Chains A and B, each alone.
Chain A
């Protein structure tokens, strides 16, 4: 192969696309008359371009919409959650006082129901008779929570084949993150069982897990 063949062969795509100046095109055409190799290459390049232009798009092997719908809902709910924190300072202060009073006992009890390393509460039931009803309810809630989680996990195991891999992966990643957060909160609570912030954080994280499992299980039924 001569140097001039190499040079002109590199311009064949431009020639094919009509991107050469007139003078250059004439020179290339002159070269083509005497170079069989470049003529053959040009024919093959034409075939490649024609083939590319006639490719037919094939649809995905499975319906990707459920995964998109799930993520859109996640986005929307995330935005709503973000918006729900636009309270004024006095509203926040009032809400914080109410939340601490109401949810710390419940959250601690929910947490302790799961943990074999259950620590003694800073305030026992006997010391806080006014909370007895709430604590009893939370024990029931704890049992219900465990049952609900186990049931939803079974539903997901059976139905996961109906979800696309991208959705399954994202859900698994989120569940792993939530489980890690739950473990960390429990460990922190074993050292500081009456910490109101940790109690609320744990309760909120457990609710997120339940919510995520519920919504994913619903997707398997679509």
Chain B
């Protein structure tokens, strides 16, 4: 049976409270969700955000109607969790340590343009907004209007952030 059919079957069971079925969904999708969390939020928070995403999915699984693939639905849930975490973190930093937040929020050419740096590491070091747009567009294949909705920015801003990210990353390929 293809994975998508297995997903539908297990999602239906999980919606009835079957945690064994939900564990099977976890096993099939954890690598992709973890990859997303790691690239969007960095390795330090990736474990916890992956867990948060699956716990949220469990809580909302009754809302999964099967119109799209389970993986796509789960992905949307995970993105929402990751971006929510990011917003909470930004608010917290603004309240507690504005200097630190500003430092991270600014482009850091020196750091992200180190020649020969591992590409994944270079992505992690991009400024947050540019990183989110880059991961969602170039790694995950979302369109600018979709990214705009997720990040609450215009499609134009999404395009300019993507270009900024690509320009910063090209030095790592030298």
Partner-contacting stretch, out of B50-58, B74-82, B90-98: B50-58
Contacts A52-B134, A59-B34, A166-B48 given; indicate if A68 touches B26 (C-beta within 8 A).
Answer: yes
Total contacting residues, chain B, CB less than 8 A: 35
Q: Does A106 contact B (CB under 8 A)?
A: no
Interface residues as binary, A156-181 with B (CB distance below 8 Å gives 1, 0 otherwise): 00000000111100000000000000
Q: Could you tell me which residues of chain A, from 48 to 78, have a CB within 8 Å of some CB in chain B? A: 48-49, 51-53, 55, 57-60, 62, 64-65, 67-69, 71-72, 75-76
- Our pick among B32, B48, B170 for the contact of A44 (Cβ within 8 Å) is B170
* Tier of interface size on chain A: 20 to 34
Contacts of A53 in B (CB 8 A): 138-139
Q: Does A10 contact B (CB under 8 A)?
A: yes
Contacts A45-B170, A48-B170 given; indicate if A60 touches B46 (C-beta within 8 A).
Answer: yes
Q: Which residues of A contact B (CB under 8 A)?
A: 10, 12-14, 19, 41, 44-45, 47-49, 51-53, 55, 57-60, 62, 64-65, 67-69, 71-72, 75-76, 164-167
Q: Could you tell me which residues of chain B, from 25 to 62, have a CB within 8 Å of some CB in chain A? A: 26-27, 30-32, 34-35, 38, 46-48, 50-51, 54-55, 58-59
A83 to B140, CA, bound (A): 41
Q: Report the minimum CB–CB distance from A12 to chain B (whole Å).
A: 7
| Chain A residue at smallest Cβ distance from B50 | A64
- Total residue contacts A-B, CB cutoff 8 A: 92
Say whether chain A's binding surface is mostly helix, strand, loop, or mixed: helix
Contacts A52-B134, A65-B26, A72-B58 given; indicate if A57 touches B48 (C-beta within 8 A).
Answer: no
Q: Report the minimum CB–CB distance from A169 to chain B (whole Å).
A: 8
A194 to B19, CA, bound (A): 44
| Chain B residue at smallest Cβ distance from A169 | B48
- Our pick among A51, A57, A68 for the contact of B55 (Cβ within 8 Å) is A68
Contacts of B54 in A (CB 8 A): 64, 68
Q: Does B166 contact A (CB under 8 A)?
A: yes
A51 touches B58 (CB 8 A): no
Q: Does B22 contact A (CB under 8 A)?
A: yes
A51 touches B47 (CB 8 A): no
Q: What are 22 A-B pairs at a CB distance below 8 A?
A: A10-B163, A12-B163, A14-B163, A48-B138, A48-B169, A48-B173, A51-B173, A53-B139, A58-B31, A58-B34, A60-B30, A60-B34, A60-B46, A60-B50, A62-B47, A64-B26, A68-B26, A68-B51, A69-B19, A71-B55, A75-B55, A166-B47
B163 touches A165 (CB 8 A): no
Contacts of A164 in B (CB 8 A): 47, 51
A64 touches B58 (CB 8 A): no
A64 touches B163 (CB 8 A): no
Q: Does B67 contact A (CB under 8 A)?
A: no
A76 to B32, CA, bound (A): 26
B47 touches A13 (CB 8 A): no
Contacts of A44 in B (CB 8 A): 170, 173
Q: Report the minimum CB–CB distance from B72 to chain A (whole Å).
A: 16
A10 to B58, CA, bound (A): 43
- Our pick among B22, B31, B59, B163 for the contact of A59 (Cβ within 8 Å) is B31
A57 touches B32 (CB 8 A): yes
Contacts of B21 in A (CB 8 A): none
